[in-house]
Homo-oligomer: A and B are copies of this chain.
Amino acid sequence: MKPQIKRTLSNFFFEYETPRQVLVRNKRVAVVCRIIQMGVLAYIIGWVFMYERGYQAIDIAIGSIFTKMKGVSFTNISGKERIWDAADLVFPEQGDSSFVVMTNYIATVGQKQDKCPELPDGKNKNKCMTDENCDEGKYKRTGNGHMTGRCISNTSTCEIYSWCPVEDDRQIPDPPILLTAENYTLFIKNSITFRQFNVVRSNLVESVNQSYINTCLYHPKTDPLCPIFRLGDIVERSGFNFSEIARVGGAIGVLIDWDCNLDLSIRHCKPKYEFYGLYGTAKNDKEEKPSLGYNFRYAKYYVENGVDKRTLMKVFGVRIDIIVHGRAGKFDIIPTLTAIGSGVGIFGVATVVCDLLLLYFVSKRDFYKNMKFKHTEIPEEKPALPQSQTEKDLPKVTYHSNLFSRRSL
């Protein structure tokens, strides 16, 4: 048994198999075949390797954002002058990646818990004729409080128990109160981490030093790396009109896009800023018109003469969502080999196509078939297999008909 194993091993190590091939000398097929093969090769090298960088492992960034708004607005509402700075206007205050800059508001000062008539709205949803229209203790989806069961004739609306007086938001101030917010500046600090490659990077890249930050303002052409943005610019680059958005509010996405090739120097890994309108309502296929309108309410509470009161603010403003999208590639052996392996597979497809051409679409196809294929059939009647095999490569298969019939001659 032992020499057997030895021979098998030596055969395995000292012998290797390579497929036998036919060299087909047929201009048309060969040219077509070479073109296909070169196309596949060009695709693999040019597209997969060069353009898509298929030899790189990919990592997606983990990002952190800190924002700071700066600016001062001056308003003069019926003779009352007031100055607004960022601490008065930005929600939330701590510099999150998603925040709202107030540009307009409806303030309802001195609300207290009381009974008062519901607000009449244009669509008659809150209208009542008699007390029966006002179910005591019930709450309407469009209403502001619990109905007491009385219908107030003055306003033709139900009386409610609520924070009174009820906020009247039927008229949005026009022009917006804080139109000058257009000139506010937004400073964005962004840190990204590619964990797989152990790379941490900030949007304050090499060329953005302290003195540059002090004076620069983002511009896509002239200052594409400056991290300071004018609010009006952001709004207009995202397709909105500032005076419109300032009146009724709106939401804007700021995308910080990192596409880094870490095979090059890290200095080439730079952010790109993009702006677009959010919350579109679908109008037609593939096109979403960004919709206007963004508001929220908040209340400031206080006690006046022992009564709990609040000032309700309906805030209209520009909501900014900053989103980081980072992607880095770096040479890695696994994607390289996977790309090559898959490329060799596609090469196999090219061969299959060529063979189909050769065997089915060429006039001399029978000749080529004969060259490429060898038929084997165990001649069942002959017990002396080895002998028959001696001649094995001789095609004696007489009963085999059409395609290979000439052989049997």
Answer whether A12 and B34 are a contact pair too, CB < 8 Å, given A145-B83, A388-B396, A393-B392.
yes
Given contacts A64-B253, A344-B346, A390-B395, contact A266 B286 (CB under 8 A): yes
Determine if A173 is an interface residue (Cβ-Cβ < 8 Å).
Answer: no
B394 touches A21 (CB 8 A): no
- From B96, B348, B385, A367 is in contact (CB under 8 Å) with B385
Known: A15-B30, A205-B282, A280-B191. A377 touches B364 (CB 8 A): no
Residues of B within 8 A of A315 (CB): 94
Given A301-B300, A409-B386, does the pair A375, B64 have CB atoms closer than 8 Å?
no
**Residues of B with C-beta under 8 A to A373:** 17, 20-23, 403
**Shortest distance between the CB of A399 and any CB in chain B (Å):** 5
- Cα distance, A30 to B376, chains bound together (Å): 12
| Contact among B23, B68, B70, B337 with A376 in the assembled complex (CB-CB below 8 Å) | B23
* A81 interfacial contact with B, CB 8 Å: yes
Partner of A161, one of B19, B43, B62, B74: B74
Q: In the complex, what distance in Å separates the CA atom of A223 from the CA atom of B56?
A: 37
Residues A385 and B371 in contact in the complex (CB < 8 Å), given A342-B342, A344-B345 = no
Of residues 100 through 124 on chain A, the ones whose CB sits less than 8 Å from some CB of chain B are 100, 113
Name the distance in Å between A141's Cβ and chain B's nearest Cβ: 7
The 8 Å CB contact of A370, one of B52, B85, B371, B403, is B403
* B contact residues around A14 at 8 Å (CB): 25-27, 30-31
Q: Is A98 part of the binding interface, using a Cβ–Cβ cutoff of 8 Å?
A: yes
Least Cβ distance of A301 to chain B in Å?
Answer: 6
**Neighbouring B residues of A279 by C-beta, 8 Å:** 64, 66, 189-191, 202, 204
A360: interface (CB < 8 Å): no
> CA A133 – CA B20 in complex, angstroms?
92
Specify which of B16, B52, B385, B403 is in contact with A375 (CB 8 Å cutoff): B403
Interface size class of A (residues with CB under 8 A): 35 or more
Q: How far is the CA of A94 from the CA of B251 in the complex (A)?
A: 12
A24 near B30 with CB under 8 A, answer no
Residues from chain B with Cβ under 8 Å of A386 in the complex: 366-367, 370, 406-407, 409
Interface pair A20/B23, CB less than 8 Å apart: no
Surface stretch bound by B, among A151-159, A240-248, A291-299? A291-299
**Nearest residue in B to A19 (C-beta to C-beta)?**
B19
- How long is the Cα–Cα vector from A137 to B183 in the complex, in angstroms? 14
Tell whether A195 is near chain B: CB-to-CB under 8 Å.
yes
CB of A81 within 8 A of CB of B375, answer no
Q: Are A52 and B334 in contact (CB under 8 A)?
A: yes
A16 touches which one: B7, B43, B265, B354 (CB < 8 A)? B354
Check if B29 sits within 8 Å of A23, measured CB to CB: no
For residue A303, CB closer than 8 A to chain B, the reply is yes
Is A237 close to B, CB under 8 A?
no
Q: How far is the CB of A79 from chain B (nearest CB, A)?
A: 13
Q: Determine if A132 is an interface residue (Cβ-Cβ < 8 Å).
A: no
Chain B residues positioned under 8 Å from A282 (CB to CB): 201-202, 204-206, 266
Q: Which of B27, B33, B113 contacts A81 (CB 8 A)?
A: B113
Q: Which of B24, B99, B340, B349 contacts A18 (CB 8 A)?
A: B24
11 more A-B contacts (CB under 8 A) besides A25-B377, A62-B253, A201-B280?
A14-B27, A16-B354, A72-B162, A85-B145, A204-B280, A206-B282, A302-B302, A366-B386, A370-B403, A386-B406, A388-B397
User: 5 closest A-B pairs (Cβ-Cβ)?
Assistant: A341-B345, A386-B406, A93-B298, A341-B342, A341-B346
